[in-house]
Structure 1
Amino acid sequence: MEDALADDLDLITITQLRQVANQSPQPYRLHVQVESRLEKTTSTGSPFFEIKLVDAADSLLWRVFDNNPQFHELSKLGRNAFIQIAGQWVDGKYGLEPRQVQFRALSEDEAGTLLLGDPDLAARQQADYADIVAFVGSIRDPRLLKLCSVFLERHGERFRRTGAARRNHHARRGGLVEHVAQMMRCAVAVAGVYPNLNRDLMIAGVLFHDCGKLWENVYAESGFTMPYNLTAEMLGHIPLGLELVNKLWRDVMDAADAAQWTTLEPASETVRLHLLHLIAAHHGTHEFGSPVLPKTPEAVALHHVDNIDAKLEMFRRAYETGKELGAGIIEKFVPWPVNIVAPLPAVNLPARTD
């Protein structure tokens, strides 16, 4: 497959490749970044490479053995390199792998386009961020409104390139924005059903519940790698989130606006403590990392809203990429303990004419 021919192939994402590789066996090309290239040996002592390829929404592990004619050339492939890889994709012994491979470095313009993400995903994340800004703008408590606004002003760019996790759910560049936006929609809906819930506190709690992940799960500015760092490794996102909110709160209370809030009830210190509790308790149990268990209605609601969105995102991804074992039965995925079943569609009734 010559380079000129390779450039004429359909350009798809890793997720799209998973969907079409078995249904439509034809050559495709991917634009990806090399997250890592590990050199390993087989049980017989032969060398091989384990190359992790990533794009905005997905990743793919490519194993290249020493009988591959491009083995030597691939040995020069650097970490974080942006490449095009083209070939006939098959579901081999080690998962999806290309045959008759051609690869080349991406141009600067191509790499820039790749960093923007799949156009549909980028558009959804942009809409999600706009919704977050709108929800924050609807907060009536001036202290929480100011706190949330300062966070978005100072850390919005970093927020937009942070994943909600390394695995399991929304584990992609910008995934935290998707997670927070959907949680806000759900939290506001729940607060509408249970009007005794503090809506302002729920919105702020959703925004800040995972804010420590801006240092634990942030992607590199110019790539799809999520580097590890000592601070996040030793503290984790909940203590980091508590520290960030305390720092922002002090800054907000030192501003001129704070003089107008001294007579507000509940008192500012009480508001701060309730918000910190939502961050500390959002995992729900000590077993899953919460230093304290939920002790307020908002903390209980936030924990379940978080859990619902994470679990439903796992199901969405499994339906999209999981292996079908039988009609409507999809293979279990980590960390789900059982196979899952396709959801029941809504009844399709003819439109009413009256």
Structure 2
Amino acid sequence: MDDAADLDLLTLTQLKQIAGPSAQPYRVHAQVDNRIEKQTSGGAPFLEVKLADAGDSMVWRVFDNNPLFQDARQLQRGTFIELAAQWVDTGKYGIEPRQPQMRLLSDEEKQIILSGDADLAERQRADYADIVALVEAMRDPRLKTLCSLFLEKHGERFRRTAAARENHHARRGGLVEHVAQMMRTAVAIAGVYPTLNHDLLVAGVLFHDCGKLWENTYPETGFSQPYQLHGEMLGHISLGLELVNKLWRDMMDRPEAPAWTMLEPAGDLVRMHLLHLIASHHGQYEFGSPVLPKTPEAVILHHVDNIDAKMEMLRRGYQNGKELAPGIIERFRPWPVNVLSPLARVSGLPEPLTDETEPRKQPITNPV
């Protein structure tokens, strides 16, 4: 293989998109998320090394006949490495590095990878800006202040938290992406159903997964998502309820709070409705909700959450899935069936006579 320094440097997502049945030389920079030693059916040891970067992850299987086996055996969780190889998509076992070369990253290289893929970082920056704008557009001063207080106190941690450990938006900053898209969808729905409480719905989206800041967050210096005692013992719904109650008490100590006592509906009722959105957003007892959705906003929130999670799963499946036949993509976890390529939009027709041929991505004004 050529000198590793001469090879193109790819993100893990780019590698998955490019790798095919023919060997192709590339290098990747990643952090070791986990290392597990296993045995083949014949009793020989092998390693499964999970690698992660800002946008994706993959498993590197290292067998005992690999010249890097002993070096890989010493890798600790959190180590940053460069892996240069001839990459082959084997089909059954995924992408495999052949003739691999490995080295530790320098401090400068670590800082570059921690800053993330430029395109992903820009998307997450824009998503966070949308969240801030939608909060600023709220009319209910209690919910607006509560949301602003959350962003002020926990915004940095929010920006490095995943929406899940595996199934959707399972990456550093994934929760910001998930919440922003849910907010845009919820605002669009509120415009169609004007009886919905717009501000309550937007606040419910912001807080529905806020407990994941103590369940699925990443450290400041890595892509290895640790398990945390709070998340394991209580779960993100319980943690979210506790956080909102704490923020509400802090908010009511502010000097402007006494002026809100004249507002209707009363503040405690507003708080209870918001807590109900958090408690019921999984939609079913068997999926972890302590209560079922019992208000219009709770029903909408549950379905918007489910829609965005499913759309992200489909996006990932179309991006990384194996094509079984033209237009048929092999099922991927946790999707229960093979998926089909979507129907393309019609082309070849004149554009409609309007100033905007596409709906706005992010309506940020309160329609109520």
- Relative contact order (C-alpha < 8 Å, sep 6+): which is higher? 2
Opposite residue 14 of structure 1, the aligned amino acid is: L
Deviation of 1:43 after TM superposition, in Å, equals 2.4
Q: Are positions 1:32 and 2:30 aligned together?
A: yes
1:251-290 equivalence runs, <5 A: 251-290=250-289
Q: Which residue of 2 aligns with 1:205?
A: 204
Deviation of 1:107 after TM superposition, in Å, equals 1.1
Q: Which residue of 2 aligns with 1:91?
A: 89
Q: Which residue of 2 aligns with 1:195?
A: 194
Q: Are positions 1:69 and 2:67 aligned together?
A: yes
Higher mean C-alpha displacement, 45-54 vs 82-91: 45-54
SS where residue 262 of structure 1 aligns? helix
| 1:279-306 deviations in Å (ceiling 9; x for gaps) | 0011111111111111111001111111
Distance 1:23 1:182, change over 3 A: farther
- Distance in 1 (alpha carbons) for counterparts of 2:213 and 2:206: 12
SS where residue 334 of structure 2 aligns? coil
Q: Which residue of 2 aligns with 1:122?
A: 121
Q: Which residue of 2 aligns with 1:291?
A: 290
- Distance in 1 (alpha carbons) for counterparts of 2:82 and 2:140: 50
Q: Which residue of 2 aligns with 1:309?
A: 308
Greater than 4 Å deviation, 4+ residue runs: none
Higher mean C-alpha displacement, 32-41 vs 177-186: 32-41
| 1:109-146 deviations in Å (ceiling 9; x for gaps) | 11111112111101000000000000000011000011
1:139-154 equivalence runs, <5 A: 139-154=138-153
| Number of matched pairs | 352
Give 5+ residue unaligned stretches, structure 1.
none
Q: Which residue of 2 aligns with 1:80?
A: 78
TM-score by length of 2: 0.93
SS where residue 9 of structure 2 aligns? coil
Deviation of 1:255 after TM superposition, in Å, equals 1.2
TM-score by length of 1: 0.97
Q: Are positions 1:233 and 2:228 aligned together?
A: no
Q: Which residue of 1 aligns with 2:163?
A: 164
Deviation of 1:258 after TM superposition, in Å, equals 0.5
- Distance in 2 (alpha carbons) for counterparts of 1:294 and 1:301: 9
1:175-186 equivalence runs, <5 A: 175-186=174-185
SS where residue 94 of structure 1 aligns? coil
Q: Which residue of 2 aligns with 1:41?
A: 39
- Distance in 2 (alpha carbons) for counterparts of 1:236 and 1:160: 20
Distance 1:311 1:108, change over 3 A: same
SS where residue 160 of structure 2 aligns? coil
- Distance in 1 (alpha carbons) for counterparts of 2:303 and 2:222: 32
| 1:52-98 deviations in Å (ceiling 9; x for gaps) | 11111111111111111122222222221101100100123522111
- Distance in 2 (alpha carbons) for counterparts of 1:325 and 1:137: 47
Contact 2:24 2:88 (8 Å CA) reproduced: no
Opposite residue 82 of structure 1, the aligned amino acid is: F
Opposite residue 183 of structure 2, the aligned amino acid is: M
Higher mean C-alpha displacement, 164-173 vs 106-115: 106-115
- Distance in 2 (alpha carbons) for counterparts of 1:288 and 1:183: 19
Q: Which residue of 2 aligns with 1:9?
A: 7
- Distance in 2 (alpha carbons) for counterparts of 1:283 and 1:75: 40
The alignment-based identity, stated in percent, is: 68
CA RMSD of aligned residues (A): 1.4
Distance 1:275 1:127, change over 3 A: same
Contact 2:162 2:174 (8 Å CA) reproduced: yes
Give 5+ residue unaligned stretches, structure 2.
354-368
1:215-226 equivalence runs, <5 A: 215-226=214-225
